[in-house]
Amino acid sequence: MLSGQVITSMRFDVITLFPDLVEEALRHGITGRAIKENLLTLKTWNPRDFTDSKTGRIDDKPYGGGPGMVMESEPLIKAIQKAKELSGSCHVVYMSPQGRSFNQKRAEEFLQHEKIILLSGRYEGIDERVIESEVDEICSVGDFVVSGGEIPALLVIDAVCRLEEGVLGDPDSSKQDSFSDGLLEFPQYTRPDSNEFGDVPDVLLGGNHSEIAKWRLKESLRRTLKLRPDLLKSRELTNQEKDLISEIKSEENS
């Protein structure tokens, strides 16, 4: 188990058949540092530890027939209740493609819950009684199906963790991330300013911060127009943004 000695901030409990997968993935990078600094607390719970089966079996054939197996209700519910017993009041989230889409806004909303239990299903899914009795919401990371909920759970933890105060070295880093202001992030460059693969735009080398800010906004708009134009449909554009979009379209048509 990975956990800090003192719970000072965000806590995630993950119900999973593969606790090592979750724990090992989160040992590294930003999440690993957050755990060491007690900014993030993680505990995994294996439903096999809560089954009466001598073989540790936690799945069975679905009633009504059909392919695959379904995870049984009792081991999952007991695991969730045990996590609640230790953690106190928690928000329980079932990771499933049937749920509400997870995005940057949802990550910010999740941050408001200090303690979250993420339920990672496997096989054909979980017994509906688990959802009815224990789950507060169902969360999807995309309109596709993967083998289990562990990787989606890792995505949620990483996205929420980086928003926690003190986790990122530079507190402004998350504010410049893609989607943080409804736009995709502008292009980034570092040294050297010129090599065989291209040159850094002159505006970034001049030190004029107002011009740099304008360039970054324009390039964010350009990238969003090209890759995610749907994001602009729900955005109330400022006069400056409207002017920049006009410039972009004029440049592309010339």
Domain boundaries, given as residue ranges, for the chain: 10-161, 178-253
Single-letter code of the amino acid located at 59: D
Active site residues: 97, 124, 162, 177
Question: HSE on the CB side for 76, CA within 13 Å?
Answer: 28
pLDDT for the residue 8: 52
* φ/ψ of residue 182, rounded to 5: 90, 0
Secondary structure, 3-state, the chain: CCCCCCCCCEEEEEECCCHHHHHHHCCCHHHHHHHHCCCEEEEEECHHHHCCCCCCCCEECCCCCCCCCEECHHHHHHHHHHHHHHHCCCEEEEEEEEEEECCHHHHHHHCCCCEEEEEECECCCECHHHHHHHCCEEEECCCCCCCECHHHHHHHHHHHHCCCCCCCCCCCCHHHCCCCCCCCCCCCCCCCCEECCEECCHHHCCCCHHHHHHHHHHHHHHHHHHHCCHHHHCCCCCHHHHHHHHHHHHHHHC
In the structure, what pLDDT confidence band is assigned to residue 4 with cuts at 50, 70 and 90?
very low
Best CA proximity match to 113, nearest among 85, 142, 93, 139: 93
When pLDDT is averaged across residues 170-174 and rounded to a whole number, the result is 59
When pLDDT is averaged across residues 187-202 and rounded to a whole number, the result is 96
Q: Which fold has domain 178-253?
A: Trp Operon Repressor; Chain A (1.10.1270)
In the structure, what pLDDT confidence band is assigned to residue 178 with cuts at 50, 70 and 90?
low
For residue 7, pLDDT over 50 is answered with: no
Question: What's the pTM value of the predicted model, to 2 decimals?
Answer: 0.86
In the structure, what pLDDT confidence band is assigned to residue 176 with cuts at 50, 70 and 90?
low
Express each pLDDT in 40-74 by its tens digit.
999 999 999 999 999 999 999 999 999 999 999 99
When pLDDT is averaged across residues 222-239 and rounded to a whole number, the result is 94
Express each pLDDT in 66-102 by its tens digit.
999 999 999 999 999 999 998 888 999 999 999 999 9
For residue 18, pLDDT over 60 is answered with: yes
Q: For residue 1, what are the contacts with CB-CB under 8 A and spacing of at least 6?
A: 19, 23, 42, 43, 44
Cα 143 from Cα 20, distance rounded (Å): 26
Sign of CA dihedral 93, 3, 168, 186: negative
pLDDT for the residue 3: 44
For residue 5, pLDDT over 90 is answered with: no
Inter-residue contact 77 to 15 (CB < 8 Å): no
Q: For the domain 10-161, what is the CATH code?
A: 3.40.1280.10
For residue 31, pLDDT over 80 is answered with: yes
pLDDT for the residue 9: 78
Average pLDDT, the chain: 92
Question: HSE on the CB side for 62, CA within 13 Å?
Answer: 13
Least confident of 8-22, 39-53, 126-140, 168-182: 168-182
For residue 174, pLDDT over 70 is answered with: no
In the structure, what pLDDT confidence band is assigned to residue 39 with cuts at 50, 70 and 90?
very high
Residue listed under structure tokens 């509400």: 100
